[in-house]
Amino acid sequence: MNKNYLNLSFCIWGDENLNDTDISTSLGIKPRTIDNKGQLLDGISSLTASHKGLIFDAPVNDENSFADQLNYLLNILEPKIPVLKKYTEEYVCKFLCVVLLSNREESIPWIHFDKRYNAFITETNITFDLKICFFPKDLPKY
């Protein structure tokens, strides 16, 4: 049976001058993906990247909750707040949460923002995007 799940990422989007090596080094985390402007996104022929972007993920499996993923990313990003403040002035920085729903009989993954997260986004001015996707049971989970 397919499970409903979510994936939380931290993303930095900019123009072609966005230096992925410098950003990765300064944050101490390697991006899962580097999207270049015009590149196909995740092999979907109708979606292309409108900007260059770095996507950093928490390790994910079916057991990782939103809180687990958020705390993993915050543990890495909180010590880098001075650097992130600079990046938010130059680039679009955001958390991206994708919720994949494939089973109507299972509860929807729980998303909750605590004081730690609220303090972090208040200080850094980083935004949050939520994407909800529904897949019929017969499609494979991504």
Q: What is the pTM for the complete model shown?
A: 0.82
Report the candidate in 115, 120, 142 with the shortest Cα–Cα distance to residue 131. Answer: 142
Note the pLDDT tens digit of each residue in 103-115.
777 777 788 899 9
In this prediction, residue 46 has a pLDDT band, given cuts at 50, 70 and 90, of low
Query: Is residue 47 pLDDT above 70, yes or no?
Result: no
What are the backbone dihedrals phi and psi of residue 11, each rounded to the nearest 5 degrees, phi first? -125, 145
Query: Is residue 139 pLDDT above 60, yes or no?
Result: no
38: left (phi over 0), alpha (psi -120 to 50) or beta: left
The second-level CATH assignment, the architecture, of 5-134 is 2-Layer Sandwich (3.30)
